[in-house]
Amino acid sequence: MSEQEIMISMKDVNKWYGDFHVLKDVNLDIKKGEKVVICGPSGSGKSTTIRCLNHLEKFQQGNININGTELIDDVKVVRHIRAQVGMVFQHFNLFPHLSVLENLVLAPTWVHKVPRKEAIKKAMYYLERVKIADQADKYPNQLSGGQQQRVAIARCLCINPEIMLFDEPTSALDPEMVSEVLDVMVELADEGITMICVTHEMGFAKKVADRVIFMDAGQVIEENEPNEFFDNPQSDRLKLFLEQILSH
Amino acid sequence: MATYTIKEAKAAPVGTKGPIHWMKHNLFPDVKNSLLTLVGLYLLYLTVPPFLNWMIFDATWSGTQDEITKGGARWIFISEKFDQFMYGFYPEELHWRPNLVLILTVAFLFSFKIFANVKIKAALILSYPVISFILISGGWLGLETVETEKWGGLMLTLVVAAVGIIASFPIGIVLALGRQSDMPIVKTLCVGFIEFIRGVPLITILFMASVVLPLFFSDGIDFDKLLRALIGITLFQAAYIAEVVRGGLQAIPKGQYEAAESLGLSYWQGMILIILPQALKISIPNLVGSFISLFKDTTLVLIIGLFDILAMVTLTNSDTNWLGYEVEGYVFVTLIYWVVCFTMSQYSKAIERKFNTEH
């Protein structure tokens, strides 16, 4: 490990749904500014892993440390961590009863106590960044899937997160809208934010990731830098997985 | 390979629109349906003209009882007893007070639309019940006190319904949230309360409120009869509101809760800003349905000795000078119930349209 600051550290994290062992001794250290892509077959625990990082899922054993704070099941600690971690969901999860602008202004004003004027200014800045400022007064359901996901990304950026988590951000999109969302994510990556992305977009992984992690059956099976990961897979499980997703 | 050009939109074919086409299509498409249409028209002919004659054309609208010559409705009874239907035994010289409350209610509803500021809205919501109470009941600011025994008629009906609706709404929401809570004690208490109340008829609760409740208080504390009825009705209605709201809460996708949480909103922020606005919006039709049925149920206060508008029909008919006018009384009261309920249902439609963001 280099001298760089560790942003996220997971140590022997175990999680069960009832009797079902979903995460088995997951260990993961992510440095500040690092981009990590997690892939793997469905049910492999990749979404659960990143959902543990902002406590949307509880884990029963092990430790998670986010930016120097130990993640424990305590309201104040959880809120402190969530204030630094943005999450983008597969199904966008915008608030349909609020306009696009209000979706963005909400968390800064209520959670971070930013004055409304300032929050609006910031929201417009980020809407500009995701190239959707002209839709600020519309409601989420009036936008296309790609536009909604870009709004969702802007909504996270408005809380100035240290870390961005992406949970299959493009898998609910029509194929023609995938690239507009990926473009925004690439731009973000270039700016040095710490990013963990669960995705099957292998092009994105090659282009952006510092590290790619392959999970199966609740375990980290293999991790490597992208070129090695794709060109020289070690485990049979990963070889099979890559064959399957790259063959079509 | 084939390519296609994009086609222009065309006008709909002629002869598929207009009233004549509609009648041909819906009323007389074949022999069987034409026959049904004719039978239907005949039934309307049998019922509607006599009804209109009784209600309007043969009715007596003014004058005294001696001048009644026609066989239709004798509406003079209603105009004679109008004040009792409206106010019960509320002193005549003070009728302006409930009237003012009615005007205020309309003004509040409109000003609520005009002001966007949340603080002004909150001030309106909080001040409305206080001002209304002081005006109707008096005993403050130099207003003469009017005991609740004197309240009656439509005024009492509206007071009971309004208090029941306004007070039960927040309690119902809290109960619904409590029922979904992760905390076992809170959850058990809420489920227990809701299921108990829903398993008992309103009459039972009113009896309990008027007969059983005073047993728990030491002698000398005279708990107002109307207040007891109001508490009973509010708790009863709250249990139903809770279930309606719970239906709305369950319709909100899990992703909304997760998005609210992941942005760092607290439980109450998430509920008040994100979940409840959406859940209540979905629940509007059921909420209003529940309020309408409460409005009609208020008439049960009759059994604990309060005289609402329906009870007034019986009471005014015991006047020896005005015997045998029940029919007019009941028709009049029916009409009033219908107007109020229909207004509520139209108001709810307007609110639904206002909150619709699915363009």
Share of chain A above pLDDT 90, in %: 73
Amino acid at the residue A129 = R
The domain of B132 spans 92-151
Write down the pLDDT at residue B359. 52
Residues B164 and B272 in one domain: yes
CB contact under 8 A, A141 and B277: no
Question: Would you tell me how many other CB atoms lie within 10 Å of the CB of residue B3?
Answer: 4
Whether the pLDDT of residue B358 is over 80: the answer is no
Taking the alpha carbons at both ends of chain A, their separation in whole angstroms is 37
**Mean pLDDT over residues B315-343, rounded?**
88
Whether the pLDDT of residue B356 is over 80: the answer is no
Q: Over the stretch B125-178, which tens digit does the pLDDT of each residue have?
A: 888 888 888 888 887 777 788 888 888 889 999 999 999 999 999 999 999 999
Residues B275 and B294 in one domain: yes
Question: Would you tell me how many other CB atoms lie within 10 Å of the CB of residue A92?
Answer: 24
How high is the ipTM of this complex?
Answer: 0.91
CB contact under 8 A, A93 and B255: yes
Residues B170 and B132 in one domain: no
Q: Over the stretch B267-325, which tens digit does the pLDDT of each residue have?
A: 999 999 999 999 999 999 999 999 999 999 899 988 888 888 888 888 888 888 887 88
Contacts of B344 (CB under 8 A, 6+ apart): B288, B291, B292, B295
Joined together, the tokens standing for residue A2 give 């280099």
- The whole-angstrom distance between residue A190's C-alpha and the CA centroid of its chain comes to 15
Nearest to B262 among A87, A94, A139 (CB): A87
Taking the alpha carbons at both ends of chain B, their separation in whole angstroms is 38
CATH code for the domain in which residue B247 is found:
1.10.3720.10
Reported confidence tier of residue A117, pLDDT bands at 50, 70, 90: very high
Is B70 part of any domain? no
Residues B133 and B193 in one domain: no
Write down the pLDDT at residue A1. 44
Please tell me which residue of chain A has the smallest CA distance to B273.
Answer: A106
DSSP A118: H
Indicate the SS3 state at residue B82. helix
**What is the maximal distance between C-alpha atoms in chain A?**
55
Please tell me which residue of chain B has the smallest CA distance to A138.
Answer: B357
**Mean pLDDT over residues B329-334, rounded?**
91
Please tell me which residue of chain B has the smallest CA distance to A53.
Answer: B262
Q: Which of B261, B262, B278 is the best mutation test for A, with the most CBs of A within 10 A?
A: B262
Amino acid at the residue A95 = F
Q: Which residue, B100, B119, B151, sits at the end of a domain?
A: B151
Contacts of A221 (CB under 8 A, 6+ apart): A40, A214, A215, A235, A237, A238
Reported confidence tier of residue B30, pLDDT bands at 50, 70, 90: confident
d(CA B245, CA B226): 28
Is B62 part of any domain? no
Which residues in A lie closer than 8 A to residue B265 (C-beta atoms)?
A: 106-107, 110-111
Is B269 part of any domain? yes
Question: Would you tell me how many other CB atoms lie within 10 Å of the CB of residue B200?
Answer: 13
Residues B136 and B175 in one domain: no
Q: Does B262 touch chain A (CB under 8 A)?
A: yes
Whether the pLDDT of residue A2 is over 60: the answer is no
Residues B111 and B239 in one domain: no
Could you give the number of structural domains in chain B? 2
d(CA A149, CA A178): 10
d(CA B342, CA B291): 12
Reported confidence tier of residue B221, pLDDT bands at 50, 70, 90: low
- β-strand A219-224 against A211-216: which pairing, if any? antiparallel
Between helices B184-198 and B225-251, what is the axis angle to 10°? 120
Out of A27-41, A70-84, B313-327, B335-349, which region has the weakest mean confidence (pLDDT)?
B313-327
Is B220 part of any domain? yes
Whether the pLDDT of residue B220 is over 80: the answer is no
Write down the pLDDT at residue A100. 95
Q: Over the stretch B76-107, which tens digit does the pLDDT of each residue have?
A: 888 888 888 888 888 888 888 889 999 998 88
Write down the pLDDT at residue B241. 95
